[in-house]
Structure 1
Amino acid sequence: MIKENKFSKYLLYAIGEIILVVIGILIALSLNGWKEDRIKHNEELQTLRQLREEFNANLVQLDEKISMRTAMVNAGVMLLKYHDAPSIIIPDSVVVYLARTTVAPTFDPITNDLISGGRLYLIQNLELRSKLSKWPSDLVQVTEEETAWIFILRNNYLPFLYQQYPIRNINAAKWNRLDVVQTLLLDKTNKTPNLFSSSKEPVDVEAFLANPKLADQLSTVVSSSLFAKTQSESLRKSIITILTLIDTELKK
């Protein structure tokens, strides 16, 4: 074409070839980008499904612990009422209430490596991403209260009860008459047998309940349990929000 003085046609032809090459490259890049986006989207969906399963399991466990904390608060309050008003004491109920105050419910959630593994970027919903990144710190608020109660239970409350009340009776009530032990077991279907009974020695329930030091101990039980229960209920709201956001994303 150049020899035949058709330079303009040659130039147009060259430009056309370049344009075709560029278009081919853009299409290839577009297809590759679409493929990568699709892979990321599938990874996000898989992660969301896993998170939904984990947080549903966490919710079930947390509800059990909240129920136990509620029972502890109610038991402590009733024992304080017995202390303040001896005329309303129901003797057979005392040991059951005491047994309820000696448990140590702990929330042990399933944890995902989304944050520690640096995979939080997979979550496109910014609100959900923010809630998930905040989850570990929210969890600490609950576990700190649980740890504080375990310390009080082992170092203050139980030693006091060992000196003031037959622990055998409390343990017998815990294993033979309460549902809290069943809740704590890994296997919820495991029915534990009645291995031992209460002591035959008489217990002066009224004298025990009149002890002012008992009232102090019970007030600590109620306060600690109520604080842990309140923190757990706040954590429950976070779980519900996370599950709602996850479901919204999965329905898109």
Structure 2
Amino acid sequence: MMKFFRKIRQNLVSKGKTGKYLKYAIGEIVLVVIGILIALQINNWNDVRKINNQKHSLLQNIKKDLEVDTLNFAETISFLKENTDLKRSLLSLSSFDTVSNDNLFVLISARSTNQTVNTLTFDKLRSLGISKITDNEGLVTELDEYYINKSNILEAFLKWDTEESKETRDYWFFNQNQFEIDVKHFPIKNKSEIFQFGKPIQNRENLIHLLSEPRGRNYVKMDFVRKKLLLEQYRLIYQAAKTLIPKIETELNK
């Protein structure tokens, strides 16, 4: 193509047609500029297409993350509900004489959970410098609310519960000197390797005594309250994740 244009120029110059040459040269420059602009526009379209494809892929991954979150949160909610329901029924009793040893241990175990929001894809989104994954402003706002605000609130509750639960376990396992933890609650295979001092009946009575004292009872009550508050946070964030999934699905199908 360039050889073709060059021959035309040479032919016009050789024939002394300067005016026509100038017009042709200007026309050639215009064509070159148009060609450059078209090439730039095509590159721009390709860049936009690549970014849109990347956003679509990231939105699909966020949907998968949310689906995993709902499964994990549902499992955690089930555990916390079972735990708090049992503790509520035990705390309503005026005597622990008929309560099984396993249920008495549930009262003092102060188990904590660490199930947080899966922010892997959302963090990748931010690291790539993508401020908006979609033009749907409402969906963008809800995603920010879920991954920033609700996630941070949940982590604050988890941190609080973890710290306070550790203090509670420290009391029952190390700081009191009347009750010996039953070896069957230890995570080891051969439990016969650990000898249990004292008579089981007396050990049980000592635990019931501690659970009847203000200090022991306060630890149990505060653990119950924390788990109830944490349960409510998990329910809220579970519902938020569940609500987002169909909205993302609709956005992906546009």
* C-alpha spacing 1:137/1:110, structure 2 compared with 1 (3 Å): same
Identify the residue that residue 113 of structure 2 maps to in structure 1: 105
Q: Which residue type is aligned with residue 112 of structure 2?
A: A
Cα displacement string for residues 102-143 of structure 1 (whole angstroms, at most 9, x for unaligned residues):
211112333232454153335112222222323122112112
RMSD over aligned CA atoms reads 3.8
Task: Report the 3-state secondary structure (helix = DSSP H, G, I; strand = E; otherwise coil) of the residue aligned with 2:111.
Answer: coil
* C-alpha spacing 1:66/1:150, structure 2 compared with 1 (3 Å): same
Cα displacement string for residues 202-252 of structure 1 (whole angstroms, at most 9, x for unaligned residues):
112654543344432222112111111111111112212332222122222
Measured after TM superposition, the shift of residue 43 of structure 1 is 0.5
Q: Which residue type is aligned with residue 106 of structure 2?
A: Y
Measured after TM superposition, the shift of residue 92 of structure 1 is 4.4
Q: Which residue type is aligned with residue 159 of structure 2?
A: T
Aligned positions of 1:57-206 closer than 5 A: 57-83=68-94, 86=95, 89-92=98-101, 94-95=103-104, 97-98=106-107, 101-112=109-120, 113-114=123-124, 116-124=126-134, 125-134=136-145, 135-156=147-168, 158-160=170-172, 163=176, 166-169=179-182, 172-173=184-185, 193=189, 195=191, 201-202=200-201, 203-204=204-205
Tell me the TM-score normalised to structure 2 length: 0.70
* C-alpha spacing 1:141/1:56, structure 2 compared with 1 (3 Å): same
Tell me the TM-score normalised to structure 1 length: 0.71
Measured after TM superposition, the shift of residue 174 of structure 1 is 7.4
Higher mean C-alpha deviation, range 119-128 or range 206-215: 206-215
Identify the residue that residue 213 of structure 2 maps to in structure 1: 211
Cα displacement string for residues 127-178 of structure 1 (whole angstroms, at most 9, x for unaligned residues):
2222232312211211211221222222245404652764523x63576xxx
Structure 1 distance, partners of 2:71, 2:96, is 40
1:41 correspondence with 2:41:
no
* C-alpha spacing 1:130/1:211, structure 2 compared with 1 (3 Å): same
Structure 2 distance, partners of 1:40, 1:110, is 23
Structure 1 distance, partners of 2:165, 2:96, is 29
Question: Which structure 1 residue ranges, 5 or more long, are not aligned?
Answer: 1-6, 176-191
Question: Which structure 2 residue ranges, 5 or more long, are not aligned?
Answer: 1-18
1:32 correspondence with 2:43:
yes
Identify the residue that residue 245 of structure 1 maps to in structure 2: 247
Identity of aligned residues (%): 21
Aligned residues: 230
Higher mean C-alpha deviation, range 72-81 or range 87-96: 87-96
